[in-house]
Structure 1
């Protein structure tokens, strides 16, 4: 048992290392990441979508908006880079044909995208604080003014769009900003005690005023809608533990056939997640993986036969040199099959005689026609009988 301890320790260590590699390759530490389970990740957003039976897809290129149906909802959270005119046009086309885009950002970086898709709402960019209505601190204000509004502007009762603010009494921000709504309809606003901390000194100065300000809006663009939220952190894992924040996301997703998480301008997906997403999105990739899988099974099942093929035997001989070991058990049938290929000029009687001899006398190498040594067979050469 003691002799097995090093081997067991090696296997345990190998398992731990492999587990660490798998976990590291399948999770992400990027903020808002769909595969980041930490407090600042976005895995809860993906989980909410899947819990409602809605497919969650991941956009890595703006051209992928073309594949989304008009019943889809796309989330764009605090993009690190600006969308090019061509990329913005892809998003705009998706909205105009009926899709819904949710843009959540506390900086002005998303304003160019909002303008490109035709939305009038803009992110102010200044930090909003509330000394009276807050969660854990004034920098986490609780917006308590909620407007009941349906996503669908059509009076048709058969419309599948749900009330965006149903079951919501408040929305909690996390170092967020406010919106300049333009012509958009306000969904949620702060309390009357909120102010914009322009100089970020965490105090209400003489130049700063208390007022209720919008933090979430919706507006129609073509056949679709753009929802703007002035805080991307309101949608991270830690904040989606807040009941009303979660209900707001559920209302946005309700009635959609697909939820698209746009990571085309933020941190990339972890390696294993990238492979999985690519596999699900590419029929050609699936075909190649299927072919390789079938090929691997076939090789596994027929390897005992394949390894005795002349080409593979010659390859092994080149790799291992003259020290290649030949199997010590060569049956007559295998020898006969090999001889028929190697000696087509021999008649069957001769083949059977030689095959029987090979199978009965012990191991021979049918490719070279020489008897293998006792050492090659794993036997003690000193036991070989004398020729005297």
Structure 2
């Protein structure tokens, strides 16, 4: 039988389209997206958190803070795109005060500071770009910070990517930059990582150290007590993206932050939309009623499929039986035709020619 190239090409195209739809439906291209496998996504961090914790939860709303076991839970918010409402901030604050750990990573957006203020933290993200002309990777906009307050010897450096610094609440730009570390520590916060003494905040964004910009050592990661819980602030969410996990000791830093918690909640409630397929799977997990409906529907489809297969098998048996009866009749007709045309041939020659004719018919029927 000759190869059916058009059918093979069509089947290959259908498979490619199906795979494309599956990938598109299960991944996201948004920056800091938990299901974004590109350089600016955090799919690697999500996988790491799932490996470190007993339970990994993707939270699409803040109701998770009302039901979580606060003492065993770390909630992670990476550069939230939208503001949290007063009610949502109260819910998160109650979670922290009850013993929960909240990690907020932000650089220039206003929503990180709004949330720090809402949960009762006394530190803030400065917002101005942090640069370092001496200690950096690939350029001054990627300053190399030193870990100073982590209980992990494997973390020595944290590399930022267009990040900012952390300051004490109430501090102004006119305050002495060299007093930033002291002011942050005065809030009873513990500095986890700080820039080199040659870093500066580029207030006017001209990527140059100006006369009114002072080099100093700035905090870039810290933790402080709020009630019975903790708030961890990191002044650059890019520390956790796929590409930056490979710089410095960023991966070890991320793992250290996550370690020690039974449950890790990745709060994406204010960070853009999830991929459609992942959103559907999360909806199924959260709704027992929907699980029952979908399960019943699948059982119905499987039962229908089984009935269809039984019907096809029965039809094939019938057609096969008919074909078995028909073939001897066809052969007899060919023998009669060959004998009538060549009465001088002996039986052996007639049989040989008949077999050749039957073989050609079978091949032709297969190609059709």
What TM bracket, shorter-length normalisation?
0.7 to 0.9
If the length of structure 1 is used for normalisation, what is the TM-score?
0.72
Instruction: State the alpha-carbon separation in 1 of the partners of residues 300 and 229 from structure 2.
Output: 47
Deviations 1:115-156 (A, max 9, x none): 0101111000000000111011100000125124xxxxxxxx
* 1:321 counterpart residue number: none
| Aligned CA distance change for structure 1 residues 327 and 89 (closer, same or farther; 3 Å) | same
Cα offset, 1:39, TM superposition: 0.6
- Superposed CA offset, 1:270-324 (max 9, x none): 01111112222222222222222222223333458999xxxxxxxxxxxxxxxxx
Q: How far does the alpha carbon of each residue in 1:66-99 deviate from its partner, in whole angstroms, 9 at most, with x for none?
A: 2322211111111111111011112112111111
1:118 to 114, 117, 120: 120
159, 162, 167: which one aligns with 2:154: 167
Residues 1:142 and 1:296: Cα distance change in structure 2 (over 3 Å) = same
Equivalent residue number for residue 17 of structure 2: 17
Aligned partners of 2:121 and 2:224 also within 8 Å: yes
Shift of 1:53: 4.7
Give 5+ residue unaligned stretches, structure 2: 169-183, 319-368
Q: Does 1:190 align with 2:177?
A: no
Q: 1:179-226, CA deviations, whole angstroms, 9 ceiling, x for partnerless residues? A: 014412211111100001111111111000110011111111122110
Q: Secondary structure at the match of 2:193?
A: strand
In structure 2, the partner of 1:38 is 38
Corresponding residue of 2:358: none
4+ residue stretches of structure 1 with deviation over 6 A? 304-307, 326-329
Residues 2 and 304 of structure 1: CA distance in aligned 2, closer, same or farther (over 3 Å): closer
1:301 alignment partner, SS class: helix
SS of the residue corresponding to residue 115 of structure 2 reads helix
Give the root-mean-square deviation of aligned CA atoms.
2.2
State the alpha-carbon separation in 2 of the partners of residues 62 and 125 from structure 1. Answer: 26
1:261 aligns with 2:261: no
Residues 270 and 218 from structure 1, CA distance in 2 versus in 1: closer, same or farther, beyond 3 angstroms?
same
From 250, 273, 288, give the equivalent of 2:278.
273
Give the Cα separation in 2 of the matches to 1:135 and 1:2: 61
Q: C-alpha separation between the residues in 2 aligned to 1:95 and 1:284? A: 31
CA contact (8 A) 1:145 1:191 kept: no
Q: Does the aligned pair in 2 maintain the 1:34–1:43 contact within 8 Å?
A: yes
The correspondence of residues 1-388 of structure 1 with structure 2, limited to 5 A, is: 2=2, 4-70=4-70, 71-109=72-110, 110-144=112-146, 146-148=148-150, 163=151, 165-181=152-168, 182=184, 183=187, 184-302=189-307
Which has a greater percent of helix?
2
Q: CA deviation at 1:177?
A: 0.2
Does the 8 Å contact 1:166/1:251 carry over to 2?
no
Corresponding residue of 1:372: none
- Structure 1 stretches lacking a partner, 5+ long: 149-162, 308-325, 330-388
Output the TM-score relative to the length of structure 2.
0.76
**Is contact 1:146–1:168 with CA below 8 Å preserved after alignment?**
no
Change (3 A) 1:293 1:108: closer
Q: CA deviation at 1:51?
A: 2.4
Paired residues, number: 296
Other structure's SS at 1:143 match: strand
Q: Judging changes above 3 Å, is the alpha-carbon distance between structure 1 residues 306 and 222 closer, same or farther for their aligned structure 2 residues?
A: farther
Higher relative contact order (CA 8 A, sep 6+): 2
Summarize the Cα distance change of 1:201–1:245 in structure 2 as closer, same or farther, 3 Å threshold: same
| Per-residue deviation, 1:104 | 0.2
